[in-house]
Amino acid sequence: MRIKFFAYGMAAYFYFNIGLVLPIFLLVLLFIGLLNSIQKKHAILRNFPILGYFRYSFETIAPEIQQYFIERNTDGKPFSRNERALAYQRAKNIDATTPFGTQLDINQSNYEGIRHSVFAVKVNHDLPRILVGGQDCTQPYSASILNISAMSFGSLSENAIVALNKGALKGNFYHNTGEGGLTEFHLQGGDVTWQIGTGYFGCRSDEGNFDPEKFTQKANNPFVKMIEIKLSQGAKPGHGGVLPAKKNTAQIAKIRGVKPHTTILSPPSHSAFHDATGLIQFVVLLRQLSNGKPIGFKLCIGQTNEFELICQEMILQNCFPDFITVDGAEGGTGAAPLEFSDGVGMPFEPALIFVNKTLIRLNIRDKIRVICSGKIISGYSILRAIAMGADMCNSARGFMFSLGCIQALRCNSNTCPTGVATQDKVLMKGLVVTDKSERVFHFHKNTLHAANELLAAAGKSSYKEVDGSIFMRGDEFTHLSDLYFPDNLGSVTQY
């Protein structure tokens, strides 16, 4: 193939030897082909010195080809085109209705729906809120039941962070900082939940340990309403956060207290405590240092006995976190090793159900608010989470869509085309804060209004009335005899 390439190249050169542009172009191709034919790293380019580039070009644009030309409205992972469109429409405050009926196959066993009431109640236009703060909290916080989940400055651009916080200010809901620390971009007037991760960014000593003095200074900022200890997160439980070197600018490195332009791997676990006893004592310490603000922790469930031990330690010390955030293994907006994204941690649904039932079984459910974080993007997903045991919800990717995210799947490459998940100043300029903050506000408001409409359709007047009884699944209507050997299992009636 290489011999043919040079033969055809030389023949073309002599045959088309008119003017200067074409010969120069052919000489450049010959030079590139010569280099590729002798290099030893890429077999395709060695065997196909010029045509091989088409393979890499198509590979680069494969996600776009999949998304725009192949993917159906109900396809797409992690979110379908219909789900993304819903978020965009609500963020833009435009008509979010769909024509001509559902595109889903609702005669399948995995279909889920709400059992509506023929006596639907009037829709409440007040957006629901819930008070967070237990027996030892002296500064309880009235929170919206939908808030911005943890996304760090570093993972997201400064324009994205500012737009999120300004949107939270207008909509009166909170903005979780993520483990990257509390920065000036989070302090635009919106309520903040400051997340403390294993790297202790923002309250970190020179040795990388927790610094009580730095924490106290920031925790008592009036915009900080709650503090969340991150034990693990859904995208990479047991691994620790990842900030790629491309995104670790000098500005971010200074904020985090690390070396710039290096990949930052947060430790997999905390150095301030090493067991359930230490965790609860750390909750006590942070509550004291913050002068009684709500303190909680976030985790992705793995070994269930560990969560049970934590709960038993709460009872033993008579000290309870004000909230627990449950993250599902399907979550994550940033960088994570594929093995962790696809193969570690408990999914959102069983994790939330397990946490709720464990707290009920130990008679401490009334002492703790449960926050869920896992693909919350619609009013339906909010009601569904509440039915499984949540008091309130956090959404990361839903609010990213409101900022203009197109699910390009380039969050970890610093090449996000919409300026949301990048530190590239040129790309960042595309995200206009004044416009996107309005979209953040409208997404929150319209999504909660949709949840209120669904609540009313189910005949319920309060979110306290929501439980699993208002939902149905397709397999409820399927008999075992319809699935397996109907002639032999006629006496078996119900699946």
Q: Which residue has the higher pLDDT, 390 or 23?
A: 390
Q: Which residue has the higher pLDDT, 241 or 143?
A: 143
Q: Tens of pLDDT along 167-194?
A: 999 999 999 999 888 999 999 999 999 9
Q: Tens of pLDDT along 1-18?
A: 555 555 555 565 555 555
Return phi, psi of residue 136, to 5°: -105, 5
What pTM was computed for the model?
0.84
Reduce the DSSP state of residue 392 to 3 states and report it.
strand
Q: Which of 116-120, 330-334, 375-379 is least confident?
A: 330-334
Pair 144, 392: CB distance under 8 Å: yes
DSSP assigned state of 411: T
DSSP assigned state of 124: P
Write the CB contacts of 475 (distance below 8 Å, at least 6 apart in sequence).
Answer: 109, 110, 495
Instruction: Provide the pLDDT confidence category of residue 423 given band limits of 50, 70 and 90.
Output: confident
Q: Which of 5-9, 88-92, 386-390 is least confident?
A: 5-9
Mean per-residue pLDDT over the chain, rounded? 86
pLDDT at 489 over 70: no
Instruction: Provide the pLDDT confidence category of residue 495 given band limits of 50, 70 and 90.
Output: very low
Sorted by where each starts, the structural domains of the chain and their CATH numbers stand as 2-60 (no CATH), 129-460 (3.20.20.70)
Reduce the DSSP state of residue 303 to 3 states and report it.
coil
Q: Tens of pLDDT along 32-59?
A: 878 878 888 888 777 788 887 777 777 7
Pairing of β 392-395 and β 112-114 = unpaired
Reduce the DSSP state of residue 204 to 3 states and report it.
strand
User: With helix as H, strand as E and coil as C, how does 150-201 read?
Assistant: CCCECCECHHHHHHHHHHHHHHCCEEECCCCCCCHHHCCCCEEEEEECCCCC
Instruction: Provide the pLDDT confidence category of residue 478 given band limits of 50, 70 and 90.
Output: low
Over range 153-176, report the average pLDDT.
95
